[in-house]
Every structure is written in C-alpha cells, then in structure tokens.
Structure 1
Amino acid sequence: MGVAKPRETVAKGEPAGSGAKGGRREQLLEVAVELFATKGYAETTMRDIADATGILAGSIYHHFASKEAMLDEILRGFLIPLHERFAAVEREGGGPRETLSELIRISFSCIHDSPHAVAVYQNETDNLLRQEAFAYVGEHSARIEQIWLRVLRAGQESGAIRPDFDAKVAYLFIRDAIWSAVRWYRPGGQLRPETVADQYLDLLYGGLV
C-alpha cells in the first residue's frame, strides 16, 4: 500500500504560514502515520515524510521537534479517545452482552476510521513499552484491558457468558482476533465495519457449527 499523495503540496522550502499551520500539521501526521504503518517506524525517516508531503525535510521542524514527537501525537490521538469511548460504554450500564457487543463494534469502527493508527499501535507497542516517554501506551492499554475484563466477568456472573472460561484468556482471544483484522480489512472496500462486526459477533456467540 503506497502513501497517498497529499491533497495540497507546498513549494520546496516554503515556510508554513500561521493560517496554514494546523492544516500542515495534520497533513504531516497523515503522511507519517501511513509511512509508520506500512514501512515501519524505525525505517521511516523525516526525509521520507517530507518527500511524501512535498516539502523540504527541514520544514517539518517548524511543526514537530522530532519523529518521536510525531509518533507520540499519533498514539495519544488514538489511545486516549479509544479509552474514553470504551469507558463511556461501560458507564452506560447496559447488560454485559450488550456492552461487550458495543465494545466490539467500536473496535471495528476504529479499524475502519483509523487503520494506520491501529496498525502502528499493533506493530510498535512492544518496542515502545521499553521507553519511558511512551509509558502511557502501556498504562492506557492496561486500563482498556480492565474495562473488557470487568464486562466479561460481569457476563459470567450474570450467566450471559459461560463461567468456565478464563476471562483473561477470552479477552486475549477476542482482542487479537479483532485488531488483527487491520491487516486485511480495507476501508472503502466491499465490507463495511458494521458487517464485519455483525459477522464476528455471530461467530463469537453462535460458533461456526
């Protein structure tokens, strides 16, 4: 998958005007997250990002101090809203099965809306957990996991979910099955995220046979 051409390009060496600063930052982040997802964070250089955006490499530093700063903004922009959406569903206090289904639907909608951010999170988390600057990645991941575990255990207590399953193992199976879909799901393709979520839920609750 190639990097999409930017919607607008800047003449080489053109300074970012104050009125375009927000738009330029967003454009740079869009290019960066796609390169991080498809080429890999370590293999992507600031020059790669600049070339794909149509500006001089030095111009990026008007907006971001480093490649690490770009990754930080991408991950915070993905993880914090995701945790908030999951937490909001839990606070609504629906039944465990209804809540679990909604958590799953949100996950597939995130893959549809932010496939590159999902891929970066999946691909880079193990390395980032060893870096103090990205400690929040592990913290948010742990908070998200606890939401899912509470919902699963509430389902077991209510009888909506089989009590003989280990909730943590069930969560890991569900989590990995959902997020790995980013490798084959294509936004704009024939499958809609709602359709994929419905089929996954049918498999989860009804099985193949």
Structure 2
Amino acid sequence: MAARRPARAAAANGEVRTGGSGRSDRRAELLRIAAGLFATRGYKQTTVRDIADEAGILSGSLYHHFSSKEEMLDEILRDFLGRLLERFTAIEEQGRDPKQVLDQLIEHSFATIHETPEAVALYQNESGALSGQPGFAYVDQLGRKIEEIWIRALTAGQKSGVFRDDVDAGMTYRFIRDTVWCAVRWYRPRGRFRHEAVAEQYLRVLYGGLVTE
C-alpha cells in the first residue's frame, strides 16, 4: 500500500488485531455503509447514528469498531487512494508505450468507478474541503502522485510523437480527469453499458473525436 494508516486506525483494524475474520468483515461492511452515506448526504451532514441505523445496530456498537466518524473517513480515503496509486504505479511500470499506459489508466479508472462508486463519489465531493485539514494532508499528497503518473504518460507520448504536442499536458490531464471521474454521477453498475464498454467508448472519442471528416 502506498500510504501507511495511522496507528489509531491500524490498532482498531480487525485485520491486525485478534478476533478473526468476522470482525474484519463487519468493519468492511460498516465502512461501505459510511462511504455511501458520506457520498450521498455529505460527511458533515452524516452522523454516527445515521451510520448505525443504516447498519441496523446501536450507535454505541459502532464504537467497538471505530473510535469516531473521522476515523471511518480516514480509513476509507487512505484505502481508496492507496490502492489507486498502487495500481496506477504498476500500470506505469509495466506499460510498453505511453498510449498503452494511458489506455490502462483510463480503463482502470472506470473499473474503479464500477467497483467502489461510493469511495469515488466521496473523494470527488470531499477532497477539496479536506485540503489542509489536520490528519488529511495525505489526500493532497497522494493526489499529486497520481497526477504525476498521468502527466508523465501524456508527456512521454508527446515526446515520442504518439500524442500531439500542441496541447498542454497538464490541462489535458485535467480534461481527462474530470470527464472520467465525474462519470460516477451517472454510471450505473447494472445499467446498459458495463464499465469496459464505457471505457472503450471514452477512448474512441478521446482519440478519434466526434467529427467524421
């Protein structure tokens, strides 16, 4: 994992404490519920009681797994960003050429939207507000590391002649980033198109455009 969890989160994690996989599974389910509520209602608007009610437990029972609502947010974001950076890094290291790297970065982004839409939406909605907040500096730090991977792929493609060099790589990244990740607002895992098909359509428009001439 790219980022190490703080001691308070690691100590509370059922995976590193004795107690078996049941505790770990329950924590994962509670985090999924919390991520969904944070994404739809907003982090500040969601209470511990809301999470407990959704999980069908008493509010006090939630504290057997997490010390606070903030710890849940921290664990969701650390896991999401850490996994994303880890996978993007592997794609960059294994890629044979810049276009292949960009293809796979985009394909994995849509796969992430499919697999963890709650975490994606939460990050989209809350990352700006968390900038500069105590204990959440890693959100910006990991975000910059991810951005650097994408820009390196775009810049390498420009230098090799695969991508046009009359556009700014940083701006191009932002165009791609915002159009890809904002798809979480409308993409439906059980909808007409699977994430693989959405990625294929996106790449077709990205490289070929809409104009037939």
Q: With the length of structure 2 as denominator, give the TM-score of the two structures.
A: 0.88
RMSD: 1.1
- 1:205 is matched with which residue? 207
Q: CA deviation at 1:125?
A: 0.3
- 1:96 is matched with which residue? 98
Q: Quote the Cα distance in structure 1 between the aligned partners of 2:28 and 2:85.
A: 22
What are the Cα deviations for residues 91-131 of structure 1, in whole angstroms up to 9, with x where unaligned?
Answer: 11411111100100000000000000000000000011120
- 1:43 is matched with which residue? 45
Are 2:146 and 1:129 aligned?
no
Q: With the length of structure 1 as denominator, give the TM-score of the two structures.
A: 0.90
- 2:14 is matched with which residue? none
Q: How does 1:6-155 map to 2 (within 5 A)?
A: 18-19=19-20, 20-155=22-157
Q: Quote the Cα distance in structure 2 between the aligned partners of 1:111 and 1:56.
A: 31
Q: CA deviation at 1:22?
A: 1.5
- CA gap of 1:93–1:195, structure 2 versus 1, over 3 A, is closer
Classify the secondary structure of the residue corresponding to 2:135.
Answer: helix
Q: Quote the Cα distance in structure 2 between the aligned partners of 1:155 and 1:21.
A: 47
* AA partner of residue 157 (structure 2): G
Q: Quote the Cα distance in structure 2 between the aligned partners of 1:26 and 1:103.
A: 26
What are the Cα deviations for residues 146-168 of structure 1, in whole angstroms up to 9, with x where unaligned?
Answer: 00010000000000000000000
Q: CA deviation at 1:190?
A: 1.5
- 2:8 is matched with which residue? none
Q: Quote the Cα distance in structure 1 between the aligned partners of 2:101 and 2:30.
A: 36
- 2:4 is matched with which residue? none
Q: Quote the Cα distance in structure 1 between the aligned partners of 2:109 and 2:38.
A: 20
